[in-house]
Structure 1
Amino acid sequence: MPQVKLSPRLEAVANLVDAKKRVADIGSDHAYLATYLVEQGKVAQAIVGEVAFGPLDNAKHTVATQGLGSQIDCRLADGLAAVSKEDGVETVVIAGMGGLLIKKILNDQKQLGPFSQLVLQPNTDQDAVRAWLVENGYAIVKEQMVEEGEHRYEIIVAEPGKQTLSADDLTFGPFLRKEQGHIFLQKWQHEQKRLQLVLDRLKEAGQVDNPKYHQVSEKVKKIQEVLSA
């Protein structure tokens, strides 16, 4: 049976998972990530959590097809309710969701932690995820951006620890804004252009005194400041 191949986004997530850890993947997208990690010998055991029967059946099908039923346990549960302390999970992966949903999942079951490693890939509201980590005893230790098609994704890796982040760190990422790789630059240049169009339209409509105009203007200035640093 051919081994599972991952999309660039999920492969980047997989590469950031610590080796030989027991992993829980919450919202697994057909259990591809857990299957890949086991097939590559990076982890020995994995738990897959799905909130609905359809995705759960898809995950079970992948696991059964690859013959990994003894190593990957697919469970029907809401978020981290799929995991108990007795499972001994060390790494939790939550990828491909909105940042506010990731924050809610982590918050609902934070009594399970701290986990040795969190690998999070929020599609939106990355600042809210970073803020949650700092407020709940985690330190961001790595960040990576990956491009897939027209989309750019941020991956945040955190471990237990204390950390202080500035407003710029929360928005742009403490590692990403220092490294300023080409995907980072593309993302924020695109966002700057989008916000500038909003400003131009507000100006054309005579709305320069509108609070929204000033709010967007400040965002544009901040992006310019970070990109020119």
Structure 2
Amino acid sequence: MNEQKLSQRLQAVANYVPSKARLADIGSDHAYLPAWLVLNQKISYAVAGEVVQGPFLSAKKLVESCNLQAQIVVRLADGLQAISDQDAINVVTICGMGGFLIREILENGVQKGKLQGTERLILQPNIGEYSLRKWLMQHNYRIIAEEILEEDAKIYGIIVAEKDQRVVHYTEKELIFGPILMQEKSVVFKKKWQHEKVQKGKILKNLKKAQVSAENLAKLKEITDILERIDEVI
């Protein structure tokens, strides 16, 4: 993967970036995504934000090697602190992190006035999708697109959300499985939840053998409930 050819995962993210968007790619790593978008004339301006010195320097090196300094600004900053008002950002991408961390970045962005609610959010959590969807619902972001794909034996999910003027509500099942993904029920979606069912089944089996305690009983009920939901959906 490089700025000329994205991974399948990042290409899927790029497909949801509207033409002529002003992008903030948070946790940009090598800045492959914004560089590809600029080089392919999809966008003309991007901020590549990194909180770690090594990836920050890698992103700067790539942008300079492609002579894209006029279109891509690389900033060393924590999360959405990389954005300034002058950037006029209308799309935020956060990829390759856990859902809890993405949720924290978004919450800090709201608290510090960096997230205005006018931006399209394109999020690719590795885990913790439930927590992230719940945050989006609580802040009135409607999920307008979802995608699930497999690359190099790993399954990735993408969530695209925009602020809605109406109250956004998702059921517990929709928060777990994804309101759009559970309707589409793709092959990869079924594969993911079949695997999850096997893993949860093993945990359930061990819990049934364990000493009875309030904690174990609560965990037993939690896993039984999710297994029932998996059976209902797939």
TM-score normalised by length of structure 1 = 0.94
Conserved 8 A contact 1:140-1:157: yes
Conserved 8 A contact 1:92-1:115: no
> Aligned partners of 2:228 and 2:217: how far apart in 1?
17
Aligned twin of 1:105: 105
Conserved 8 A contact 1:60-1:74: yes
Aligned twin of 2:43: 43
Aligned twin of 2:157: 154
Which of 190, 194, 205 is the equivalent residue of 2:195? 190
Which of 128, 131, 135 is the equivalent residue of 2:131? 128
Give the C-alpha shift of residue 109 in structure 1. 1.4
Which of 115, 119, 122 is the equivalent residue of 1:116? 119
Decide whether aligned partners of structure 1 residues 193 and 26 sit closer, same or farther in structure 2, where only a CA change above 3 A counts: same
Conserved 8 A contact 1:126-1:171: yes
Conserved 8 A contact 1:207-1:213: no
Give the C-alpha shift of residue 141 in structure 1. 0.3
Deviations 1:148-168 (A, max 9, x none): 112111100011203211111
Aligned twin of 1:181: 186
Give the C-alpha shift of residue 206 in structure 1. 6.2
Give the C-alpha shift of residue 199 in structure 1. 1.5
Report how many aligned residue pairs link the two structures.
226
Q: Does 1:202 align with 2:200?
A: no
Further displaced range: 64-73 or 211-220 = 211-220
Q: Does 1:224 align with 2:227?
A: no
The residue type paired with residue 180 of structure 2 is F
Deviations 1:81-134 (A, max 9, x none): 000222100000001011111111111111231133110011111111111112
Decide whether aligned partners of structure 1 residues 107 and 37 sit closer, same or farther in structure 2, where only a CA change above 3 A counts: same
Decide whether aligned partners of structure 1 residues 108 and 205 sit closer, same or farther in structure 2, where only a CA change above 3 A counts: closer
Decide whether aligned partners of structure 1 residues 170 and 25 sit closer, same or farther in structure 2, where only a CA change above 3 A counts: same
> Aligned partners of 1:84 and 1:54: how far apart in 2?
22
> Aligned partners of 1:88 and 1:164: how far apart in 2?
29
Aligned twin of 1:81: 81
Structure 1 vs Structure 2 CA RMSD: 1.6
Conserved 8 A contact 1:51-1:79: yes
The residue type paired with residue 141 of structure 2 is Y
Conserved 8 A contact 2:25-2:94: yes
Q: What secondary structure, in the 3-state scheme, does the structure 2 residue paired with 1:118 have?
A: strand
Unmatched runs of 5 consecutive residues or more in structure 2:
none
The residue type paired with residue 218 of structure 1 is D
Q: What secondary structure, in the 3-state scheme, does the structure 1 residue paired with 2:123 have?
A: strand
The residue type paired with residue 179 of structure 1 is E
TM-score normalised by length of structure 2 = 0.92
> Aligned partners of 2:96 and 2:152: how far apart in 1?
15
